[in-house]
Structure 1
Amino acid sequence: MTHTPLQQPASSSDVGTSRPPVAKRVPAERTHHGDTFVDHYEWLRDKESEEVVAHLKAENAYQEAITAHQEPLREAIFQEIKGRTKETDLSVPNRKDGWWYFSRSIEGKEYGIQCRVRAQNTGNPVADWTPPAVEAGVEIPGEEVLLDGNVEAEGKPFFSVGGTAVTIDGNLYAYAVDNAGDERFTLRIKDLRTGELLPDVIENVFYGVSFSPDGTRIFYTVVDDSWRPYQVKSHVLGTPVTDDEVIYQEDDAAMWLGFELSSDRRHLVLGIGCSEYSETRLLRFDDPGAGLSTVISRNERVLYEAEPFLLEGPDGQETDRILITHNRNAVNSMVSLVDPAELSKPLAEQAWTTVVEHSDDVRVNGAGVTATHLVVSIRKDTIERVQVMSLAGLGTAAQQAPVEPAFDEELYTAGVGGSDYEAPVIRLGYTSYFTPSRIYDFVLPTPEQPAGELLLRKESPVLGGYDGSDYVATREWAEAADGTRVPLSVLRHRAVKQDSTAAGLVYGYGSYELSMDPGFGIARLSLLDRGVVFVIAHIRGGGELGRHWYEDGKKLSKKNTFTDFIAATDWLAQSGWVAPDRIAALGGSAGGLLMGAVANLAPEKYAAVVAQVPFVDPLTSILDPELPLSALEWEEWGNPITDPAVYEYMKSYTPYENVREVAYPKIAAVTSFNDTRVLYVEPAKWVQELRNKTTGSEPILMKIEMDGGHGGASGRYVQWRERAWDYAFIADSLGATELLPGAGLK
């Protein structure tokens, strides 16, 4: 029996009222493994339909009516974000070959401006790699504008750059632009000597572009009909696009394809893989006729990355070596060194040299090289860290101990931000919950300076009287039903009292081994300043505690992700900080699936739920391999097409199919019409079913950006307003609309 909503329903044409739009019911049967599901709202998938578009606009009109009273709060939060952001700002110049590249942002303009200035080569390595001082509003002599996003975006509904590349000689600049939000880009090439565009225009490319070292070719990726990158192609400048060569095509629908140049730019490196195993293929630029060579076949079921480079031996001779970061007999991965000649042997007979050993406590995320050092990214105690060691003696008894840049906070994130192969420094990004983003150059260790040296290049300014000491971040632990301890990051304003009266928000993701690492967020301060205790739940399915943490939250263990989040909510409710009836939940994409699942499992624990671009109908999507990216999801959730157990398990938690007759809290599903990763139809169907079944009177809303993609609309001011909408909805739902005494902009 379908419950009758308390409010009198409105038709899709009933725009401008406070009654929710009601989509017509058109039964569509989906049968798998003897189970038939009747979906009454599948017709909403037809985005070309005028009726569908009218319905979506009616949804927007309804949410605007219901949330109209939040507009002053939205405006206040937007002004707080704007007031704390240095709108006229610039990035730290990053050197590549003979140029320093940087971006400028200007007050009142939505998009960044990409610039460069010529570098010096005086023979003093540290001086030559010290970025020039760039001032806002002050042009450096010789400064060139490569791409002004504001000019490119003029008259367009959307603007996003999906990749840029510059030839080694600095003469040609390639950039890929998306004007729809659907992540299909148009690639153009500019001659920086004249400012003129070349006639070469390539449509429908995917992320990432690179020039060949000689600058005569450009490499790019193409997606198939299901939005999976499956071809890497090569375009010879000045020739018809129809003549472009397919370097490699991946036909396995469950495998993702990408490419990059090796650090020393001697190879094109193709990465093919899923979340469980991979394959790397190499193309030598000095011998392109040799074709692609495979490092380790996917048939070995090894998850790995490979970096070919030249290693200087004790005799001064350089020899080809491949650095492999892999999970072969190493669940948390390790780093090995191999002679390419070994690759012709069966894997079991190959001689590999261990460079970074496996550890149950340390997850190795990746490794790369500069001309002089190995750079390794690891995760220990949930924290992302960087270690370096000299290439001299690598893989021998003379191998040196790793050196790790030291920081003085407990909860932080440090990652490699890119560096030139020949540079004596590596660029590091650093942030914590209350330390704005910092850019460091780490001078690589030498015998004279064995610890290296951290050089602070910039800390992103925060205006409005921001003082990090006004806030507190602590590491806490929730206990799941099976006894697993789940790490939490608990953020609050120092003025909040532990008297069980505050409002609380629990945020989570918990999929694809992605970690919710410490990071500064200006918008989040607006909630903290209103007394909201913000909890980031590092639940299973993420990568915070190593590979096991991920594997314990995927496929037939996926429900651990949901119950961990509820355990985090219970911890907060019992912490003494908040009133248990003043807790909201927030998550996006796969975290939106999480929102739908916990709303079904424990609706009484939340006053409000905000699900951003939510993956709430995953079974329908993954059962159809023709839908965007669905086949790639089998390694994360299992394959319900071929496996009845996976089908049954997914059916038991997929949010859309498990909506039940209970009193749901306030729910806002926030989505975009042109999202290619989680189609708008999923939240559109979900909100209809929630309204059908809820026994409560709280509003169920859908907010849809008609010109946006998976990341929402483009343009920083528009994005700030989107975040202000989400946070105002949460703060209003929790009764946390007033600033704490002394908090807010100064």
Structure 2
Amino acid sequence: MLTPPVAHPKPYQVPSPHGPRPDNYYWLNERENQEVIDYLNAENAYFEQEMAPVRDLQNRLFTEIKSRIKEQDESVPYRDNGYFYYVRYEAGGEYPIYCRKKENLDAPEEVLLDANQMGEGQAYFQIGGFQVSDDNQLLAFSVDTVGRRMYTLRIKNLATGELYPEQIENTGGEAVWAADNQTVFYSKQDVNTLLTYQIYRHQLNTDPAQDVLVYEEEDNTFHIGVGRSKSREYIFIQMGSTMSSETRYVAATNPAAEFQVFLPREDDHLYEVEHFEDYFYVLSNDGAPNFRLLKTPVTATGKVSWQEIIAHRDDVFLENMELFREYLVLGERQEGLLQLRVMRWENGEEHYLNFGEPTYTAAISINPEFDTTVLRYGYSSLTTPTSTYDYDMGTRTKTLLKEQAVLGDFRKENYVTERLYATAQDGTRIPMSIVYRQGFRQDGSAPLLQYAYGSYGISIDPTFSSARLSLLDRGFAYVICHIRGGQELGRQWYEAGKLLNKRNTFTDFTDCSAFLLQEQYTAADKLFAAGGSAGGLLMGAVINQHPEYYRGVVAAVPFVDVVTTMLDDTIPLTTGEYDEWGNPNEQLFYEYMLSYSPYDNVQAQAYPNLLVTTGLHDSQVQYFEPAKWVAKLRTLKTDHNLLLLHTDMEAGHGGASGRFKSIHDAARQFAFMLLLLGEQ
């Protein structure tokens, strides 16, 4: 056996209002400490040694996954303010090329940004915000070259191709033009906490040091951003925490004016605003956990003037809306599935689109124009590649504009998708979406990968993955567990998996595992689990509780040191998380979080084979959480199963940048699982 690296314990007491807590690996927090870097590099070297038997397989997987991608490709153009905008990729290119054509698709192509040229020589490169001025002559865009999602804002003259001299650093990424084509609004981040907390107004061709601060958020549980209404008539500052929000607005034609408060923030009230003609339209959960839709005159935004359009429903979650001159389109969730509802303003006549699959994803796409009867939407399922449709709301006809190309011998008819339900410990039915290749035998002989997230009200919808075919074609089944903590079954589904209900998220997952084992979709020596970020916390919790269920687990950028992180308000993004996990400065939440925190509950027991991944520059889950977790597991676990830590020394939370570089992440994880099954 190869000898794994050792992170030597160094006694330390983590302070808290409830007394100190020992943490022998706290020293791994020291990013600039060469001993820390040496340890991470040693873990990477150990990973490579242990994975050596499947190195060729990993390379084949990379080539296999890449070979399904149409390298020279482009998105479906959408029309906005007289131009058609689209993104295209060139053969061999890692990054997108942003383009447009004037008035019609036969016009000459205008390249706005070539990210391949811009990212050349960069270990990491990502374009953030992207907005063109009203006169179509200027482009405000942002770039991140580190991976910590701190963007530098630039402005480009589209007529001359030249960049303006100003470079505005540490922004949140978005940029919003006012109607004068001279004024740009942007958000600034705190360099330590990475919270967006300021909104500035910048005048073209001026020193950014002279930019005007128009708003500063003093509550560090809130994050803020800036945007513009679909009508282009208003600029919005949106402030939000997990349980509360607020919007401020100013006319885009008068950017120097003071922003007005649409409705002051209130506890347990989330709302968002859109504008059309004489009204603001409001999605609100005020007295409506699953949200309702209202409108109010632009001259009177207080609740007393709100008029209800779509009432609250206990069994339907109102997720989003799209306004057109003649139609209203609503994105709704019922029984965990997304639905698109079309309603005519004139007479209230309405209908739902029919998608014809038991489990799928359908979502409103880019629709920047009011004066059209055509809705652009996206569709995907576990067997259907991502597709773009135009739907004529008047004639009720849909046109497939593009289906994601999957090269090779892929035929969707070779795969089967189903909706399953497991019964949780408290009797709740937990939906699951499963896909497998034709010929799958439900006799316990097949390997299965079980995935979930289960936090922040984020719904994990069943979508297509061409990379996943490499597992399905090797006999795997793939299951998404729609566990509590997400929002698939409405707001109550989220509430039942957060704060003092968080344990439901973990038991839902293991109850799904028990169901899959009992019904012989797989067996314990072939069941794999995977999750990332908060889903990585999920992985840590379930293997503490039921390690016997799983042959192997992949925990990507896992949030595993919950209590220590949430006690430290200098760590990026911590304070905005109190409404999700609780504030451990309070005894009740401290004890509850301590009861499930994966790092704090590592014990002397056998654990499954484990692959843990992280990025040195991760801005959301700092690298030291998974590093400490692995170090502690090495000390306490009683088995001889694999425990591997892979740190991307150049990337952040989202992994490597570029559409081909990121394939290495998938190939690495797949090779780990196949290694455990004895494949080479």
- TM, length-normalised to structure 2: 0.97
Partner of 1:112: 96
Letter in structure 1 aligned against 2:355 = F
Cα distance in structure 2, aligned partners of 1:162 and 1:39: 37
Task: Indicate whether 1:403 and 2:351 are aligned.
Answer: yes
AA paired with 1:242? Answer: A
Point out the more displaced range, 227-236 or 407-416.
407-416
Partner of 1:285: 252
Partner-residue secondary structure (3-state), 1:434:
coil
**Sequence identity of aligned pairs in percent?**
41
Unaligned runs of 5+ in 1: 1-6, 8-17, 121-131, 133-139, 311-319, 393-397, 739-746
Among 81, 85, 88, the alignment partner of 1:101 is 85
Q: Cα deviations across residues 16-46 of structure 1 (Å, max 9, x unaligned)?
A: xx31111122222113243321111111111
Contact 2:152 2:173 in 1 (8 A): no
Matched, 1:215 2:181: yes
Aligned partner of 1:88 among 54, 72, 76: 72
1:413 to 353, 361, 378: 361
Residue 604 (structure 2) pairs with residue 661 (structure 1): yes
- Residue 617 of structure 1 corresponds to 561
Whether the 8 Å contact between 2:180 and 2:253 is mirrored in structure 1 is no
- Report whether the alignment pairs 1:143 with 2:109: yes
Question: Which one of the candidate residues 353, 364, 370 is aligned to 2:307?
Answer: 353
Q: Secondary structure at the match of 1:199?
A: coil
RMSD: 1.5
Q: What residue in structure 2 maps to residue 10 of structure 1?
A: none
Contact 1:280–1:306 (Cα < 8 Å) also in 2: yes
In structure 2, the partner of 1:489 is 433
Deviation of 1:421 (Å): 2.5
Q: Does 1:192 align with 2:158?
A: yes
1:266-293 CA distances to partner (integer Å, 9 max, x unpaired)?
A: 1111111112121111112244465222
CA distance in 1, matches of 2:512, 2:46: 32
- Specify the code of the residue in structure 1 equivalent to 2:659: R
Q: Distance in 2 between matches of 1:607 and 1:299?
A: 47
Query: Is 1:175 aligned with 2:119?
Result: no
C-alpha displacement of 1:174: 1.8
Q: Could you tell me whether the CA contact under 8 Å between 1:110 and 1:717 is conserved in 2? A: yes
1:255 aligns with 2:222: yes
Q: C-alpha separation between the residues in 1 aligned to 2:10 and 2:448?
A: 40
Count matched residues: 678
Structure 1 residue identity aligned to 2:389: Y
Cα distance in 2 for residues equivalent to 1:252 and 1:539: 31
1:676–1:168 distance in 2 versus 1, CA, 3 Å: same
After superposition, give the CA deviation of every residue in 1:160-191 in whole Å (9 maximum; x if it has no partner).
Answer: 01111111221111221111111111111111
Offset of residue 341 of structure 1:
4.2
Query: Could you tell me whether the CA contact under 8 Å between 1:503 and 1:533 is conserved in 2?
Result: yes
Is the CA contact 1:335–1:354 (under 8 Å) kept in the aligned structure 2?
yes
**Which residue in the other structure is 2:664 paired with?**
721
* Contact 2:13 2:21 survives alignment (8 Å): yes
Asked if residue 439 in structure 1 is aligned to residue 406 in structure 2, the reply is no
Q: 1:548 aligns with which of 489, 492, 503?
A: 492
SS in 1 for 2:559: coil
> Residue 338 in 1 paired to residue 300 in 2?
no
Q: Which residue of 1 aligns with 2:321?
A: 367
Q: Is residue 607 of structure 1 aligned with residue 551 of structure 2?
A: yes
Distance in structure 2 (CA, Å) of the matches to 1:720 and 1:34? 45
What is the SS of the residue equivalent to 1:581? coil
Identify the residue that residue 321 of structure 1 maps to in structure 2: 279
Letter in 2 for 1:343: T
Cα deviation 1:358-400 (Å, max 9, x = unaligned): 11111001224233332321111211222232344xxxxx4x1
Q: Deviations over 1:696-719 (max 9, x none)?
A: 011211001011111101111111
2:650 corresponds to which residue? 707
Q: Distance in 1 between the 2:168 and 2:489 partners?
A: 42
Q: Is the 8 A contact 2:360 2:379 kept in 1?
A: yes
Is 1:380 aligned with 2:334?
Answer: yes
1:141 shift after superposition: 4.9
Deviates more, 1:477-486 or 1:414-423: 414-423
Q: For 1:282, what is the secondary structure of its paired residue?
A: strand
1:479 aligned residue: 423
Correspondence for 2:20: 36
Q: Which amino acid aligns with 1:88?
A: Q
Secondary structure at the aligned position of 1:168 is classed as: coil
- Secondary structure in structure 2 of the residue aligned to 1:691: helix
Shift of 1:107: 1.8
The equivalent residue for 1:644 is 587
SS in 1 for 2:617: coil
* Separation (CA, whole Å) in 1 of partners of 2:636 and 2:42: 20
Q: Contact between 1:371 and 1:421, CA under 8 Å: does it hold in 2?
A: no
1:292-311 mapped onto 2 (5 Å cutoff): 292-299=259-266, 301-310=268-277
- The superposition leaves residues 44-91 of structure 1 with CA deviations (integer Å, 9 ceiling, x where unpaired) of 111111111111101100111011112122122212211211111111
The structure with the largest alpha-carbon Rg is 1
Task: Give the secondary structure class of the aligned counterpart of 1:21.
Answer: coil
How far off its partner does 1:114 sit? Answer: 1.2
Render the CA deviation track for 1:146-166: whole Å, top value 9, x for unaligned. 111110111111100111111
Per the alignment, residue 743 of structure 1 pairs with none
The answer to whether the 8 A contact 1:583-1:734 is kept is: no
1:198 is paired with a residue whose SS is coil
Equivalent position SS for 2:531: strand
C-alpha displacement of 1:119: 1.3
CA–CA distance in structure 2, aligned partners of residues 71 and 141 of structure 1: 48
Structure 1 residue 533 displacement after superposition: 1.6
The worse-fitting range, judged by mean Cα deviation, of 251-260 and 423-432 is 423-432
Specify the alignment match of 2:517 in structure 1: 573
C-alpha distance in structure 2 between counterparts of 1:554 and 1:733, whole Å:
34
TM-score under structure 1 length normalisation = 0.89
1:246 to 193, 213, 224: 213
Q: Name the SS for the 2:554 alignment partner.
A: strand
Q: Residues 511-550 of structure 1 correspond to what in structure 2 (within 5 A)?
A: 511-550=455-494
| Correspondence for 1:500 among 444, 451, 460 | 444
SS in 2 for 1:186: strand
Q: What is the aligned partner in structure 1 of residue 640 from structure 2?
A: 697
Q: Which moved more, 1:520-529 or 1:194-203?
A: 194-203
The residue matched to 1:176 in structure 2 has which SS? strand
Return the alpha-carbon distance in structure 1 between the equivalents of residues 98 and 593 of structure 2.
45
Q: Which residue matches 1:270?
A: 237
Moved more, 213-222 or 699-708: 213-222
Residue 236 of structure 1, aligned match among 203, 216, 228:
203
Cα distance in 1 for partners of 2:592, 2:637 equals: 24
Q: Distance in 2 between matches of 1:405 and 1:652?
A: 45
Distance 1:340 1:501 in 2: 62
SS at match of 1:53: helix
Kept in 2, the 8 Å contact 1:227–1:629? The answer is: yes
Could you tell me which runs of 5 or more consecutive residues in structure 2 were left unpaired when the two chains were aligned.
none
Determine whether 1:152 maps to 2:118. Answer: yes
Separation in structure 1 between the aligned mates of residue 103 and residue 419 of structure 2, nearest angstrom:
44
**CA contact 1:405–1:442 (8 Å) conserved in 2:** no
Provide the rounded CA distance (Å) in 2 between the counterparts of 1:377 and 1:236.
Answer: 37
2:54 corresponding residue in structure 1:
70
| Structure 2 Cα separation of the partners of residues 33 and 601 of structure 1 | 28
| AA matched with 2:156 | K
